[in-house]
Amino acid sequence: MSRNKTIKRIGILTGGGDCPGLNAVIRAVTKTAIIRYGLDVFGVEDGFLGLIENRIKPLKFSDVSNIIDQGGTILGSSNKADPARFCVDHTSDGKPIFEDVTDRVVENIKRAQLDVLVCIGGDGTMSAASRVTEHGVPIIGVPKTIDNDLLHTDVTFGFNTAVTIATEAMDRIRTTASSHSRVMLVEMMGRNAGWITLYAGAASGADIILIPEIEFDLDAVCRRCIDRSQHGKAYTLVAVSEGAKPKGGHVVVDRVVQESPDPIRLGGVSEVLSHDIAKRTHLECRATILGHVQRGGTPTTFDRTLATLFGYHAVGLMMKGQMNHMVVWKKGNLGAVPIHQVADKQKLIQLDNALLAACRATGASFGDAG
């Protein structure tokens, strides 16, 4: 394999919330870079935070052996370290003080003599990466997130594992819902995108699927629960996105992480809904918030293979000189798009989505009609 002589040393970082498959990408990038091209590989600790604080260490072949099946990231990650808006201190009343520390990042990359940086992350990481490329740092992006909300790629790694975990949870909740004739709500992550909920809802045959892209009508949700309890099944299984909201209403915010570029953390809508449905229908309701269990543990076979393809392709792109692009999976093929086209954007479910139509056709309610 011919080698791009200008690239000798590469860095890898994992940014944003972690997800299963990160280690499989780190492994694929490192092994491809070493075996195919004889490059020196360096790992940046805790995402962009490690570049701000100059925590960069060599990644050897042995460091990435036996990690393909491990959840989390051996490099660590941070979702509070956007170099353009980094919290350097707090005011006396606890408000964060932000500074643009991009120059420090560029300086540390130069000091480590990194020719290219591989940034594995979601939209926040791609936005930060895009701004760093404007300072002359060549970057290759790899799309990660359980939320599957990155634009221009059909799928991100981590999503399949999260859907598998959520589907298994739904299957388990179904049996107890049935035993007790209850309305059971299962809340899934995804921020403002309903991908996990749509796929896990479809795969588990949920009776009601509530996603951020379709505002729900509480009356319609209650009617469906009552209909089921009166005609046929005494229980109702509801898959609900953390970002679901009622018509004209608001999302339920769990907390605000002020230092984070995207400070709002959603959570708790299923608890609110559980009480609202119980009050209106007098049916017994319970809510289960799946939370970070969706991000933990071993990646599925699909995510391990996608992560391996992405990592391998990322190195191929840089060696071809196709910098400042993010690897994508489109219509069954590997490809690449300029990182700036992905930055600050989100891929949401369109109303003509085929799985959404299939769910409706097989009897699921999205809470938007009687």
Examine the residue annotation and report whether 207 is marked as an active-site residue of this protein. Answer: no
Q: Which amino acid is at 50?
A: G
- Binding status of residue 81 toward ligand F6P by CB under 6 A: no
57-65, 108-116, 188-196, 206-214 -> range binding ligand F6P (CB under 6 A): 188-196
Q: Which stretch binds ligand F6P (CB under 6 A): 7-15, 107-115, 139-147, 335-343?
A: 139-147
Helix (H) or strand (E) holding 226: helix 218-230
121 binds ligand F6P (CB under 6 A): no
Query: By CB under 6 A, what part of segment 281-310 binds ligand F6P?
Result: 295
82 touches ligand F6P by CB under 6 A? no
Of 46, 147, 187, 207, which lies in the binding site for ligand F6P, with binding defined by CB under 6 A? 147
How open is the CA angle 35-336-110, to the nearest 5 degrees?
60
Candidates 64-72, 89-97, 144-152, 296-304 — which segment interacts with ligand F6P by CB under 6 A? 144-152
The rounded distance, in Å, linking the Cα atoms of 240 and 258 is 26
Residue of this chain nearest to ligand F6P (CB atom): 189
Report, in angstroms and rounded to the nearest whole number, the Rg of the chain calculated over CA atoms: 22
Nearest to 101 by CA among 118, 116, 121, 87: 87
* Total Cβ atoms within 10 A of residue 156: 29
Whether 166 and 294 have beta carbons less than 8 Å apart is answered as: yes
Cα gap 227→126, rounded to integer Å? 46
Q: How far is the CB of 145 from ligand F6P (least distance, A)?
A: 5
Element (H, E) at 195: helix 195-203
Q: Are 44 and 56 in contact (CB under 8 A)?
A: yes
With CB under 6 A as the contact rule, the residue among 265, 280, 286, 345 that binds ligand F6P is 265
Residue selected from 70, 108, 127, 145 as contacting ligand F6P according to rule CB under 6 A: 145
Q: By CB under 6 A, is residue 79 in contact with ligand F6P?
A: yes
What number of CA atoms fall less than 13 Å from residue 50's CA on the CB side?
22
Considering the candidates 82, 147, 149, 207, report the single residue annotated as catalytic: 147
Cβ 170 to ligand F6P shortest distance, Å: 17
Between 104 and 265, CB nearer to ligand F6P: 265
Among 146, 198, 319, 364, binds ligand F6P (CB under 6 A): 146
Answer whether 192's CB lies under 8 Å from 148's CB.
Answer: no
By CB under 6 A, residue 189 contacts ligand F6P: yes
Q: Point out which residues pair with 11 in neighbouring strands.
A: 42, 117
Residues in contact with ligand F6P by CB under 6 A are 17, 79, 122, 145-147, 189-191, 242, 265-266, 295
Which residues are marked as active site? 147
